[in-house]
Amino acid sequence: MGEVTTLINKRNKNNEKLPVYSINNKLGFVPQSEQFEGVDSEDRGYDIKLYKIIAKNTFAYNPARINVGSIGYSENLENIIISSLYVCFKTDNTVNDNFLYQYLKTDFFNREVLKNVEGGVRDYLFYDNFARIKFDLPCIEEQKKIADYLSSIDSKIDIESQLLHKFEEQKRYLLANLFI
């Protein structure tokens, strides 16, 4: 990973009032107020000068929770800030970011994480250990094909999940009105 990624550590030194985000293990980047019931770091009085400024096409992960998928990709989000605890990186031009994001959500990657974590009570994957992870990287054209295919499957799953949710709502409605 270290050959195709670069660590990003741009801090909010000027104390800019930028939107505060967190990383959710299901959705990736989410506004911190959504993650923590309407309250973000600024509301809590945290010093956001230490927070990291995120630009477009940046990956970020929680080094203590990467084993449960706590990783996000900013894609078109920019000028947001996240806690200084997150590890942030960008890829070089040999990597299709969607391909890498798909890979980072696999069991293959999770096994590599488990081989490279350090710590006692809680395991951490800091960038130095992340950079040591090896993985097969096909040519950029093949990465795009694989990423597009997996993204289409993700979209299909999302659509089917929404449909299931609607059917469950309909079932509840019908059951509630069945005995009136």
Per run of 10 residues, the mean pLDDT along the chain (length 180 residues) is 96 90 89 73 73 95 88 93 95 96 93 89 91 94 96 93 95 86
Which residue intervals of 10-139 are DSSP H helices?
32-35, 97-104, 107-116, 127-131
CA distance 108 to 101: 13
Sheet (strand 80-82) strand order = 28-31, 20-24, 80-82, 52-54
What pLDDT was estimated at residue 39? 63
DSSP E strand stretches across the chain: 5-8, 20-24, 28-31, 52-54, 59-61, 71-73, 80-82, 87-91, 118-119, 123-124
Whole-number Å distance between alpha carbons of 150 and 96: 13
The distance in angstroms from the start CA to the end CA of the chain is 62
pTM (2 d.p.): 0.83
Closest listed residue to residue 11, CA positions, set 83, 73, 76, 78: 83
Give the full edge-to-edge strand order of the sheet including 71-73.
5-8, 87-91, 59-61, 71-73
Amino acid 180: pLDDT: 67
Let me know the angle formed at the C-alpha of 28 by 137 and 57, rounded to the nearest 5 degrees. Answer: 55
Looking at the structure, give the CATH architecture of the domain made up of residues 5-136: Alpha-Beta Complex (3.90)
Separation CA 118–CA 120 (nearest Å): 7
**37 Cβ contact partners less than 8 Å away, ≥ 6 residues apart:** none
